[in-house]
Chain A
Amino acid sequence: MNQGEIGAYAERYGELVAVASNLEILLAKYLARVPHIDRISARAKDPERFANKAKKLLTSGVDKYDAPLQQIQDQIGARIIVFYKDDVEKVATIVDRYFRYVERRDLVPESEWEFGYFGRHWILALPDDVIPPSVNQSQIPRFFELQVKTLFQHAWSEANHDLGYKATKKLNSDQRRRFAFTAAQAWGADRVFEELRHELS
């Protein structure tokens, strides 16, 4: 049940908070000259959420994670929110320049007829710069997750997470359709602002 690793995570949580704070500063430094950034944030995964993830089982009933401290790659997560869709590319160029990625993907709904979560995600090597000298390097995860989203993508995913993902009851067809509708509206708003920006600049 990975109880030992769950306990170890809780013990090192304070150190991960310090690392996340330094990571936020490093990202802000690298992106200092990129316009239209609404916010940059980084966090250490809450111990309870880590525990829930570490306890996940595969359909076969076997633990999904054999060594969660090594396998869970979003123990430290960072997020960059930008104004417009074009700005995602500008941020991506800087991210690829200064960080080594082992995974990079655009999250989009599977079909063109669907609307839901949109965003760009990376799994990046955590640079040692962000580990305070007092912290033992071997206790810190080797990678972190970075998400880059527009304001509208972010707004939708936050509300969807709060209402949809955390819902205690299974969503009915109409509710799912309404979530998709709001995702389409967020997608449309991004699209229109992108067009306006090109027309007006």
Chain B
Amino acid sequence: MKLTDIHSFLVHPAKHADSQPTISGTSVPRKGSLFGMLDKLFERAPMECDVQIVFSPDDQGQQNNPSRDSLESYAREPSVPRGRIVAERLQQVTTHRSGLGLLFLLKGIGSQGHHSLVVSRFPADQGVVAQENAGSLSVEFLERVFMKNAKAYKSAYYTTSSLRAGFTDGKAVDRQLSGPRDLSEYWIGEFLMSELRTTGPAGTRRLAEALRTAVKTAKDPGIKQELISAASLMRNQSGKTRSATAIIKRLGLSDQAAEAITDAYARPELMSESFRFEADEFERHALYRAVELDTGALLLAEDARFDDVFHTELLVAERKVRYTTEGKIVDQRFRKTK
């Protein structure tokens, strides 16, 4: 990858502001330590930006998108005036909660000779600079330090074989994607005017079905039970935007259980696609019903098929219930109780 053009802009918080502050911008020379840092950022962007996004259509459902227009315009002719249009769009959606930020636009040639554009925002922070001088130490407070903050860093990566054809979709990273709505919507939704490529219901259903398949195919009863327990815990992910890999990691599933889910996906890459988890959708497709009787019997089946698998008879006089089922034994193991 070869980084050819770098521009930087100081973006103030000015969402809903009566007048927009003037944005200062500059071209960054392709030498020195700042260039070295940005060159690495440009090179790592295809891997670091792991959330697939697509540009949203306009109100009429057409493929018109002002954010894409401004990014394509800059990519075709990188310059301070064209970059400033991108920065102005960012400033107009930046709240005081997000605060002051430094925007970098990095244009270059990526893999396969394709044009690549990386858009990164470094939030402002405070810091102290310490310098050793002939055995003495001087410290100085800095009010405007811009850092690739681990908690608030945001970036986006676009690539195309033809600048005339433009960008069709891209990838992003947003460390606040699962945060409060105003923060999670800020970068991808409001600034990039994009949405996650995978809808919440599609991603949730994909995970639910993979989990269901994993439960069915798991040979080890311990793993089977672990996966069923995971199904109950996953409901707590409702409203969170994460990948299946991230969800599994948070639940602390064993390697075997995680592998069983991964194997049930059509492609392993799907495990890393981010989506907004929807509990209702999940329950429709992965719910297991477990009934425990006072006799010690434990009945377990997919919720959707439970009433087909077990015939239920209410014994009203005895205030009991009788379950009956028949089938071939496919597995029978002893397991220690906890």
Bound together: yes
**Interface assignment of B337: CB less than 8 Å from any CB of chain A:** no
The complex places the Cα of A99 from the Cα of B197 at a distance, in Å, of 8
Q: Once the chains bind, are B57 and A104 in contact (CB under 8 Å)? A: yes
CB-CB under 8 A from A66, the residues of chain B are 162, 164-165
Residue contact B199 to A70, C-beta cutoff 8 Å: no
Find out whether the CB atom of B54 lies under 8 angstroms from the CB atom of A100. yes
* Chain B residues positioned under 8 Å from A131 (CB to CB): 266-267
Count class of interface residues, chain B: 20 to 34
Residue contact B202 to A98, C-beta cutoff 8 Å: yes
Chain A residues near B169: list those with CB within 8 A: 125, 142
Q: With A70-B161, A70-B168 in contact, is A129–B196 under 8 Å at CB?
A: no
Interface residues of A (CB under 8 A from B): 65-67, 69-71, 97-105, 123, 125, 127-131, 133, 137, 142-143
A100–B266 alpha-carbon span in the complex (Å): 19
Q: Do A123 and B165 have beta carbons less than 8 Å apart?
A: no
Given A67-B162, A128-B270, are A97 and B201 neighbors across the interface (CB < 8 Å)? yes
Question: 21 A–B contact pairs at CB < 8 A?
Answer: A66-B164, A67-B160, A67-B161, A70-B161, A71-B165, A97-B201, A97-B202, A98-B199, A100-B54, A100-B198, A100-B199, A101-B57, A102-B56, A102-B63, A102-B168, A103-B57, A104-B61, A125-B54, A128-B273, A130-B266, A133-B266
B267 touches A143 (CB 8 A): no
Residues of chain B contacted by A71 (CB below 8 angstroms): 165
Most buried by A among B168, B196, B198: B168
Which residues of the partner chain B approach A137 to less than 8 Å between Cβ atoms? 267, 269
Question: Separation in Å of the A12 CB from the closest CB of chain B?
Answer: 15
A128/B61 in contact, CB under 8 A:
no
Beta-carbon contact of A98 and B201 below 8 Å? yes
A100 to B205, CA, bound (A): 15
Contacts A70-B165, A103-B63, A105-B62 known; 18 new A-B pairs at CB < 8 A: A66-B162, A66-B165, A67-B164, A97-B201, A98-B202, A99-B199, A100-B54, A100-B195, A100-B199, A101-B61, A104-B61, A127-B202, A128-B267, A128-B270, A129-B270, A131-B267, A133-B266, A133-B267
- A128–B203 alpha-carbon span in the complex (Å): 11
B206 close to chain A: CB less than 8 A: yes
Residues of A within 8 A of B158 (CB): none
- Nearest to A123 among chain B residues (CB) is B63
Tell me if B55 counts as interface (CB < 8 A to partner A).
yes
Across the interface, do A143 and B168 meet the contact criterion of CB distance under 8 Å? yes
Question: Given that A66-B164, A66-B165, A97-B199 are contacting pairs, would A102 and B55 also be in contact in the complex, using a CB cutoff of 8 Å?
Answer: yes
Main secondary structure of the interface of A (DSSP, over half): mixed
In the assembled complex, the CB of B152 is this many whole angstroms from the nearest CB of chain A, namely 26
In the complex, A100 Cα to B62 Cα: how many Å? 13
Residues in A neighbouring B162, C-beta threshold 8 A: 66-67, 70
Contact with A along B186-227 (1 / 0, CB 8 A): 000000000111110110011000000000000000000000
Identify the B interface with A (CB < 8 A).
54-57, 60-63, 160-162, 164-165, 168-169, 195-199, 201-202, 205-206, 266-267, 269-270, 273
Task: Please name the 5 residue pairs, one residue from A and one from B, whose CB atoms are nearest each other, closest first.
Answer: A67-B162, A104-B61, A67-B165, A66-B164, A66-B162
In the complex the two chains form, is A142's CB within 8 Å of B62's CB?
A: no
Residues of B within 8 A of A67 (CB): 160-162, 164-165
With a CB–CB cut-off of 8 A, which chain B residues contact A65? 165
Among A70, A101, A128, which residue has its beta carbon within 8 angstroms of that of B266?
A128
Q: How far is the CA of A69 from the CA of B205 in the complex (A)?
A: 30
Are B199 and A105 within 8 A (Cβ)?
no
Report the nearest A residue to B160, measured CB to CB: A70
In the complex, A66 Cα to B115 Cα: how many Å?
14
Instruction: For A125, list chain B residues within 8 Å (CB).
Output: 54, 169, 197-198
- Chain B residue nearest to A137 (CB atoms) is B269
CB A135 to nearest CB in B, in angstroms, measures 9
Closest to A65 in B: B165
Please report the C-alpha to C-alpha distance between residue A62 and residue B61 in the assembled complex, in whole angstroms.
28
- Nearest to A122 among chain B residues (CB) is B61
How far does the alpha carbon of A102 sit from the alpha carbon of B194 in the complex, in Å? Answer: 10
Interface pair B57/A100, CB less than 8 Å apart = no
Contact partner of A129 among B61, B164, B267, CB < 8 A? B267
Name which residue of chain A comes closest to B281, CB basis.
A97
Q: Which residues of A have CB within 8 Å of B199?
A: 97-100
Rounded to whole angstroms, the CA-CA distance of A117 and B312 in the bound complex is 54
Considering only CB atoms, which chain A residue lies closest to B167 in the complex? A70
Specify which of A98, A100, A105, A143 is in contact with B61 (CB 8 Å cutoff): A105
CB distance from A97 to the nearest CB of B (A): 5
Bound state CA distance, A137 and B269, in angstroms?
Answer: 10
A131 to B266 alpha-carbon distance, docked (Å) = 8
Bound-complex Cα distance A105 to B205 (A): 26
A133 to B269 Cα, complex, angstroms: 10
A148 to B47, CA, bound (A): 37
A43 to B256, CA, bound (A): 38
Nearest Cβ on chain A to B4's Cβ, whole angstroms: 20
